[in-house]
Amino acid sequence: MNKNKPDRPALLRAIEGLAAYPAMLLPTAEGGFEVIFPNLPRAKAYGADRDVALANGVEALTAELGLAVAAGETPPRPSEPALLVADDDEPAGAELLLLSPDKQALRRRLGLVKGEGPLDLGLGRLGRGK
């Protein structure tokens, strides 16, 4: 892992090189859905319905990968979905999906879009205090 702060061209190359990651969409006992990423254990998302959970999953994936890219680190490679093995305790209705990071949002967050400065990568739309 490279710990040097990347320059603008390196950031843009890193963002463009980001791939889709496998994600598990899991129904919860309380209702709604949880999204987890086998390759990124810190990235998790929730939603009251499937669409909201998936949108929040994309945001969580984008933020997690953005933290690595901004730090000059190489994110872990995504697993091949066909090689992932289901857990015995997965709830009925669990789905394995591929989610792609929002590269345009990541460019904005890192201040790589003209006229916009860097934003706080850790908050997302759910963590704003206003």
pLDDT tens profile 20-72? 999 999 999 999 999 999 999 999 999 999 999 999 999 999 999 999 999 99
Q: Is residue 115 part of a domain?
A: no
Mean pLDDT of the chain: 85
pLDDT over 90 (residue 84):
no
Q: How many domains does the chain have?
A: 1
Q: Is residue 120 part of a domain?
A: no
pLDDT over 50 (residue 130):
no
Give the alpha-carbon dihedral of 88, 28, 64, 118, to 10 degrees: 170
The residue assigned the tokens 């967050």 is: 109
pLDDT (0 to 100) of residue 90: 78
41 is in which domain, residue-wise?
8-109
Q: Is residue 122 part of a domain?
A: no
DSSP β-ladder status, 21-27 and 44-47: unpaired
Q: Is residue 1 part of a domain?
A: no
pLDDT tens profile 32-44? 999 999 999 999 9
* CATH code for the domain of 34: 3.30.160.250
